[in-house]
């Protein structure tokens, strides 16, 4: 890292690769690419002030965007209180050749409530910590001089029942350091006055077609415009079609190559918006021809199917935390490394747990071939609620999750609306991602409410994917799966799963602490402790042979092993939190996993 070092702490191998110039300067939105853009990451002014302060006369210093203020990589490493606002300031110039264009200001992710001011003009407000958002800042810009952005952020973390995942102001056990403010790339983009603002790509392998739905800002004059779509495979045009912008395009693909973890084949797209043959706007994208479904196998068992064939998923629980960046990986290479490492072990799936990643993470899954189960980050809950969960588990009484919202801390309807709003935004944002197979609205009844209704809505809203409406506890009888969490060395399949499949959505948790690579040498959490690689290997082999193999025979569709990496005081990762030590050997583990796939893909 250039210049002054950040505060000391556990660091990944990429820590020193981070510069103060333009960190994370890769194009942030791989599925809708334009050539005219500018990264605004780098050093910004920052200030932390009480909420009553309405203007900053003097900033506190510099923060490195896009790293959250609590992280070492931000160069600040300070907490943000719910009684405070975090202020940012940045100046930038607009390229000369952008004159005559609209200019959009994009934020990949800001946690939690964001107000943006450009040159003294408030351009917009956004609520929610996990999804990208944009503002048209054209009329607020000075095209000849420097421009100023002011960003004000409020983040209550767990003081309010907002979707905050595992963030806690006082971290403990399986809850971690909070993440506040800007934590993904900030960038500006030049677009024409009339432009493409959204793509929806729906592959259909049964008809060998891709449905391309293009949205624009044209308005009522839409009939005057057309769109042209070109599909390329390995640089060669395989299909092309032009039609009115009013209608989605169904495009036949001759002898399509199907996407799978074993063959992550992606087609490229070139999309043009035309007016009487003249190109007004052009974007590039990509897609994969694949199908996810739940079907009866030859023995009458409901199983997960990929591309019309039974397919067993073996994956890891991936929480996406970093010791030096918290929610933000140090670099794009680091982000990709986690996926590559997981694939080396033989896993074909990742459950992205209680967090949403930058769009580039999903791009790497698409390219490398990794199926994704995507969780919706849960609202936080109180210790009293934690007691309710475990009492119900131990005493085995059914918990019904509708109407009695008070007991889950969601009596205020605003908090329920926040989750449903962000769930919809998450699905909209990631609809085109080939690798996402399963949406997970709720985990272990953390802030769970109306799960069957929300699961049913999710299935209807996105019929191209499957849904696990309650991962772990308190199944409400809906969606596609009975979803079990089980950290014992035995597992019994449900006697009657009806027309649903069965997934073991958390298991394993085999723990080994390596003190010199530990977040806190004095604390430790795990499910079952071992002292050597050899013991871990033996435990994993026992799980594969004596727990998972019989369950697969009985219809088990997928398994999520806890977990990809250590996280803070959890030491049950395949790799240490700093990503420097593999605690198991891929050459030993991969053959074990490959046995599970035989006859199931």
Residue 382 has pLDDT above 70, yes or no: no
All structural domains of the chain with their residue ranges: 15-191, 206-287, 301-597
- The domain made up of 301-597 has a fold known as TIM Barrel (3.20.20)
- Only one residue has tokens 């690579």, namely 517
The pLDDT mean for the chain works out to 94
Separation between Cα atoms, residue 301 and residue 297, nearest integer Å? 5
pLDDT band at 220; cut points 50, 70, 90: low
* Virtual torsion, Cα 511, 516, 522, 528, nearest 10 deg: 10
- Judged by DSSP in three states, 344 sits in helix
Cis ω on the peptide bond leading into residue 563 (within 30° of 0)?
yes
pLDDT digits (tens, 9 = 90+) for 164-215: 999 999 998 899 999 999 999 999 999 999 999 999 999 999 999 999 999 9
Residue 510 has pLDDT above 70, yes or no: yes
pLDDT digits (tens, 9 = 90+) for 339-364: 999 999 999 999 999 999 999 999 99
User: Residue 216 CA to chain centroid, in angstroms?
Assistant: 26
Q: Whats the size of the chain, residue-wise?
A: 601
Nearest alpha-carbon partner for 315 in 543, 507, 536, 591:
507
User: Encoding tokens for residue 131?
Assistant: 């999804």
Cβ atoms of residues 161 and 379 within 8 Å: yes
In eight-state DSSP terms, residue 406 is G
Cβ atoms of residues 181 and 88 within 8 Å: yes
pLDDT digits (tens, 9 = 90+) for 38-84: 999 999 999 999 999 999 999 999 999 999 999 999 999 999 999 99
pLDDT confidence of residue 320: 98
Query: What mean pLDDT do residues 129-150 have?
Result: 97
Return the HEC string of 188-236.
EEEECCCCEEEEEEEEECCCCEEEEEEEECCHHHHHHEEEEEEEEECCE
pLDDT band at 277; cut points 50, 70, 90: confident
Query: What mean pLDDT do residues 263-288 have?
Result: 96
Q: Find the angle CA(439)-CA(443)-CA(447) to the nearest 5 degrees.
A: 115
pLDDT confidence of residue 399: 77
pLDDT digits (tens, 9 = 90+) for 524-572: 898 999 999 999 999 999 999 999 999 999 999 999 999 999 999 999 9
pLDDT digits (tens, 9 = 90+) for 21-35: 999 999 999 999 999
Instruction: Tell me which CATH homologous superfamily contains domain 15-191.
Output: Galactose-binding domain-like (2.60.120.260)
Cβ atoms of residues 131 and 184 within 8 Å: no
Query: What mean pLDDT do residues 431-446 have?
Result: 95
Helix axes 586-597, 332-344, angle to 10 degrees: 60
Cβ atoms of residues 212 and 229 within 8 Å: yes
Whole-number percent of the chain with pLDDT over 70: 96
pLDDT band at 410; cut points 50, 70, 90: confident
pLDDT confidence of residue 445: 82
Separation between Cα atoms, residue 522 and residue 569, nearest integer Å? 9
Separation between Cα atoms, residue 111 and residue 105, nearest integer Å? 17
Separation between Cα atoms, residue 503 and residue 501, nearest integer Å? 7
Nearest alpha-carbon partner for 349 in 561, 583, 31:
561
Helix axes 413-430, 359-368, angle to 10 degrees: 40
The region of weakest confidence among 3-12, 28-37, 69-78, 483-492 is 3-12
pLDDT confidence of residue 406: 80
List, in sequence order, the alpha helices (H) in 398-511: 413-430, 451-461
pLDDT confidence of residue 5: 46
User: Encoding tokens for residue 106?
Assistant: 């994009």
pLDDT digits (tens, 9 = 90+) for 300-336: 999 999 999 999 999 999 999 999 999 999 999 999 9
- The domain made up of 206-287 has a fold known as Immunoglobulin-like (2.60.40)
List of residues 6+ apart from 35 with CB closer than 8 A: none
List of residues 6+ apart from 240 with CB closer than 8 A: 228, 229, 230, 231
pLDDT band at 8; cut points 50, 70, 90: low
pLDDT confidence of residue 384: 66
pLDDT confidence of residue 601: 64
pLDDT band at 2; cut points 50, 70, 90: very low
End-to-end CA distance of the chain: 45
pLDDT digits (tens, 9 = 90+) for 237-260: 999 999 988 889 999 999 999 999
Nearest alpha-carbon partner for 374 in 468, 452, 307:
468
pLDDT band at 107; cut points 50, 70, 90: very high
Separation between Cα atoms, residue 371 and residue 485, nearest integer Å? 20
Q: Within a 10 A sphere around the Cβ of 217, how many other Cβ atoms?
A: 15
Separation between Cα atoms, residue 559 and residue 348, nearest integer Å? 10
Cis ω on the peptide bond leading into residue 110 (within 30° of 0)?
no
pTM above 0.85, yes or no: yes
- Only one residue has tokens 């990264």, namely 39
pLDDT confidence of residue 4: 45
Separation between Cα atoms, residue 40 and residue 130, nearest integer Å? 19
Instruction: Report CA torsion sign: 351, 353, 356, 357.
Output: negative
The phi and psi torsions of 547 (rounded to 5 degrees) equal -110, -55
- Only one residue has tokens 């997934």, namely 503
Helix axes 359-368, 332-344, angle to 10 degrees: 40
User: Residue 91 CA to chain centroid, in angstroms?
Assistant: 30
């Amino acid at each position: 890292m250039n210049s002054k070092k950040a505060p000391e702490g556990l660091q990944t191998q990429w820590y020193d690769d981070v510069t103060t110039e333009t960190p994370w300067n890769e194009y942030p939105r791989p599925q809708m690419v334009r050539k005219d853009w500018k990264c605004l990451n780098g050093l910004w002014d920052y200030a932390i002030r009480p909420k009553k302060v309405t203007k900053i006369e003097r900033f506190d210093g510099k923060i490195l965007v896009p790293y959250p203020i609590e992280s070492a990589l931000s160069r600040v490493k300070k907490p943000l209180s719910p009684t405070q606002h975090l202020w940012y300031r940045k100046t930038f110039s607009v390229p000369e050749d952008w004159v005559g264009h609209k200019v959009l200001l994009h934020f990949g992710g800001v946690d939690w409530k964001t107000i943006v001011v450009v040159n003294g003009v408030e351009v917009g407000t956004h609520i929610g910590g996990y999804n990208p958002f944009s503002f048209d800042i054209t009329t607020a810009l000075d095209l000849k001089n420097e421009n100023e952005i002011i960003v004000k952020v409020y983040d209550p973390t767990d003081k309010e029942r907002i979707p905050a995942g595992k963030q806690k102001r006082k971290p403990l056990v399986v809850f971690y350091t909070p993440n506040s403010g800007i934590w993904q790339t900030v960038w500006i983009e030049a677009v024409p006055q009339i432009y493409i603002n959204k793509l929806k790509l729906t592959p259909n392998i049964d008809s060998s077609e891709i449905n391309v739905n293009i949205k624009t800002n044209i308005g009522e004059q839409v009939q005057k415009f057309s769109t042209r779509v070109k599909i390329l495979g390995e640089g060669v045009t395989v299909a092309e079609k032009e039609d009115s912008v009013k209608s989605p395009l169904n495009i036949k693909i001759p002898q399509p190559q199907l996407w799978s973890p074993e063959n992550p084949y992606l087609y490229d797209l070139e999309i043009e918006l035309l007016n009487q043959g003249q190109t007004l706007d052009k974007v590039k994208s990509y897609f994969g021809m694949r199908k996810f479904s739940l079907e009866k196998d030859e023995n009458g068992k409901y199983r997960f199917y990929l591309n019309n064939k039974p397919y067993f998923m073996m994956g890891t629980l991936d929480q996406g935390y970093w010791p030096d960046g918290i929610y933000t990986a140090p670099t794009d290479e680091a982000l990709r490394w986690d996926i590559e490492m997981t694939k080396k072990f033989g896993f074909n799936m990742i459950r992205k747990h209680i967090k949403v990643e930058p769009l580039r993470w999903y791009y790497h899954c698409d390219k490398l071939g990794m199926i994704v189960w995507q969780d919706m980050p849960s609202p936080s809950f109180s210790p009293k609620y934690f007691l309710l969960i475990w009492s119900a588990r131990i005493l085995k009484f059914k918990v019904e999750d509708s109407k009695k919202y008070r007991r889950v801390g969601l009596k205020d309807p605003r908090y329920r609306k926040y989750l449903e709003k962000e769930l919809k935004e998450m699905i909209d944002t990631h609809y085109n991602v080939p690798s996402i197979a399963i949406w997970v609205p709720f985990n272990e009844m953390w802030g769970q409410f109306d799960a069957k209704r929300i699961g049913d809505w999710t299935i209807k809203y996105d019929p191209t994917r499957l849904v696990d409406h309650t991962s772990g506890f308190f199944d409400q009888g809906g969606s596609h799966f009975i979803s079990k969490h089980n950290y014992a060395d035995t597992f019994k399949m449900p006697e009657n799963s009806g027309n649903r499949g069965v997934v073991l959505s958390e298991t394993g948790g085999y723990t080994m602490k390596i003190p010199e690579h530990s977040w806190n040498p004095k604390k430790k959490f795990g499910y079952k402790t071992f002292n050597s690689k050899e013991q871990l290997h033996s435990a994993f082999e026992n799980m594969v042979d004596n727990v998972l193999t019989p369950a697969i025979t009985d219809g088990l569709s997928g398994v999520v092993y806890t977990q990809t990496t250590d996280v803070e005081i959890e030491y049950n990762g395949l790799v240490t939190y700093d990503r420097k030590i593999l605690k198991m050997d891929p050459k030993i583990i991969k053959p074990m996993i490959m046995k599970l796939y035989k006859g199931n893909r």
